[in-house]
Structures are given as C-alpha cells and as structure tokens.
C-alpha cells in the first residue's frame, strides 16, 4: 500500500472494519489497487519460499515412509494453518493450501468471506477433498479466535473440502498479513500472546506487514493513517511488541521485488 500522511493516533477497531465493509470484495480492494501489477505473484512466491525455509518437510507432510525412515509409532497429525484478517482468501488459496492440509480462514467482513466461499471450489485440493478450509467470521480482537470448535460454532460460515479431525488442536502456522495495523500496540501484544499459546510444537507465527522508518535515534515509530484507521509500525516498534509478547524472533526478511514507491514490507517469523 502507498504511504500516506503521518499523525500519532491509535487505530479504531470499528472504524477499521467499517472501512473494508464499504469496499467491493475484490483482489484489487485487498491489494490497494495493485491486483494487476506483479505484486500478487511476487508476494505469493516469496511467502511460499519463506514457509519452505521454515518447514522443509511441508511438501510431503505428513512425512512419507522411506526405507531408512521407519513409520513413527504415533501417527503424525496433519498440518494446520490459521490465517487472520484474511480478506477474500488471497493468501489461503495461493500460499497456505500449497503447504498445509487444513486452513482456518478468519476475517470480520462477511462479503469478503462470502466471495472466498464462492471461489473455494477451485482452490487447491478442495474438490478432491485432500485439503480443507473453514471460513470463520471474527475480528483479530476476538479472544476466542484461537480456539474455534470444530462444529456448532456460529462464526464458522462454511467448511469446504476435507473435514478437520475433531481431536486436533493448535496450529503449525499462524499467518498475519497486512492486517495487524488495525490493532493498537496493547491489542497487538494480547493478540500475539494468544497466538503463541495456540502454536503446536515447532509451530510459528508469520507476520508480513508494511514497515516505516524508525525515528532518527533508532527508536520506535508508528505512522497513523486516518483513512482506514491503521498504524504502520517501524522495525523497532515491531521488535518492542514481540518482546512484550514473549516471542522469539527466528527470521526477519525483507520482501524484495515490490515497487519502490510502496512501504518496505518485512516478513517476521516468531515462536
């Protein structure tokens, strides 16, 4: 998204959701008018590369039984990802379903979710029931976001493809892209603490967000955008939130290949 004017203010959650509710549920909307550029492809390929770097075994998950690699005594649980602030399912369909068996896609704007549901029969592995997606209507500040029951929850608008097993909890990956600016720093830290608690062993939180420059002395800076009621955080601001949430940063990469007039985008991997 292009940079806009700076002012020190706190995001208003309701105003942020209202901003998106007023827009058509399209790729151009969630990408700020950049759907026809190279950005969607470059973005998706970098995200897949990042996931492979973190989980090299994912393309064969659960691990097939090689003669030198006997079957585990206990069955390996199938991989699960959660995407929050997921819009029309751009990342779920182009990235996460290429890696994970089950994806829970969480988004507060119903028209975005309905568009995703309508398009999901063409998503990878859905028609063949090799993969499964649940579409959950909820905001980031929903404290029960990370413990959605498998059935009977009114927030689950639809479930397509393979049904997730009832007995499996926790996520291998929690993907947050271009949506955490809707949270104040206090809400962001609470969100990250809850996300951390819902990770499986070796699971990771992936954050892909715009980043502005720090203050001249290197301290944290936040740039408020009144249009969508978000803040863009500087590197130091992100680090401060990660430390407050008790998270360990295990990877920090710059997204390359986006247009020079956009904010820098960084990919953080945390545990």
Ligand X SMILES: C[S@@+](CC[C@H](N)C(=O)[O-])C[C@H]1O[C@@H](n2cnc3c(N)ncnc32)[C@H](O)[C@@H]1O
- The footprint of ligand X (CB under 6 A) covers 13, 16-17, 20, 30, 85-87, 90-91, 107-109, 112, 139-141, 177-179, 182
130 is in an annotated binding site: no
Strands 264-270 and 199-212: antiparallel
Q: Among residues 19 and 61, whose Cβ is nearest to ligand X?
A: 19
Tell me the residue number closest to ligand X, measured at CB: 87
CB of 153 to ligand X, least distance (A): 17
85 is in an annotated binding site: yes
Q: What is the three-state SS of 175-240?
A: EEECCHHHCCHHHHHHHHHHHHHCEEEEEEEEEEEEEECCCCCCCCCEEEECCCCEEEEEHHHHHH
Q: Among residues 77 and 158, whose Cβ is nearest to ligand X?
A: 158
Q: Among residues 111 and 150, whose Cβ is nearest to ligand X?
A: 111
CB of 41 to ligand X, least distance (A): 13
Residue 98 in tokens: 């290429």
CB of 115 to ligand X, least distance (A): 11
Q: Among residues 139 and 164, whose Cβ is nearest to ligand X?
A: 139
Contact call for residues 141 and 57 (beta carbons, < 8 A)? no
194 is in an annotated binding site: no
- Round to whole Å and give the CA distance between 80 and 199: 10
Contact call for residues 2 and 32 (beta carbons, < 8 A)? yes
90 is in an annotated binding site: yes
CB of 214 to ligand X, least distance (A): 23
Q: Which residues are annotated as a binding site?
A: 85, 90, 140-141, 177
């Amino acid at each position: 998204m292009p940079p806009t004017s700076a002012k020190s203010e706190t995001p208003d959650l309701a105003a942020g959701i209202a901003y998106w509710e007023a827009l058509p549920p399209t790729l151009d909307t969630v990408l700020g008018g950049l759907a026809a550029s190279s950005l969607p492809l470059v973005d998706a390929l970098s995200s897949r590369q990042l996931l492979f770097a973190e989980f090299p075994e994912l393309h064969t998950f659960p691990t097939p039984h090689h003669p030198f690699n006997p079957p585990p005594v206990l069955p390996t649980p199938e991989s699960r990802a959660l995407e929050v602030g997921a819009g029309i399912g751009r990342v779920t369909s182009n990235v996460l379903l290429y890696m994970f068996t089950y994806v829970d896609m969480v988004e507060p704007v119903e028209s975005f979710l309905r568009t995703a549901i309508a398009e999901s029969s063409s998503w990878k592995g859905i028609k063949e029931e090799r993969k499964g997606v649940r579409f959950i209507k909820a905001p980031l500040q929903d404290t029960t976001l990370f413990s959605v029951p498998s059935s009977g929850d009114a927030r689950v608008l639809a479930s397509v493809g393979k049904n997730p097993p009832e007995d499996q909890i926790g996520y291998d990956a929690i993907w947050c892209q271009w949506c955490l600016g809707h949270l104040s720093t206090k809400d962001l830290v609470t969100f990250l603490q809850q996300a951390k608690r819902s990770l499986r062993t070796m699971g990771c939180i992936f954050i892909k967000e715009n980043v502005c420059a720090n203050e001249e002395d290197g301290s944290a800076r936040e740039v408020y955008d009144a249009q969508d009621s978000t803040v863009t955080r500087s590197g130091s601001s992100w680090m401060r939130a990660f430390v407050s949430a008790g998270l360990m940063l295990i990877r920090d990469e710059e997204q390359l290949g986006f247009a020079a007039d956009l904010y820098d985008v960084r990919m953080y991997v945390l545990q």
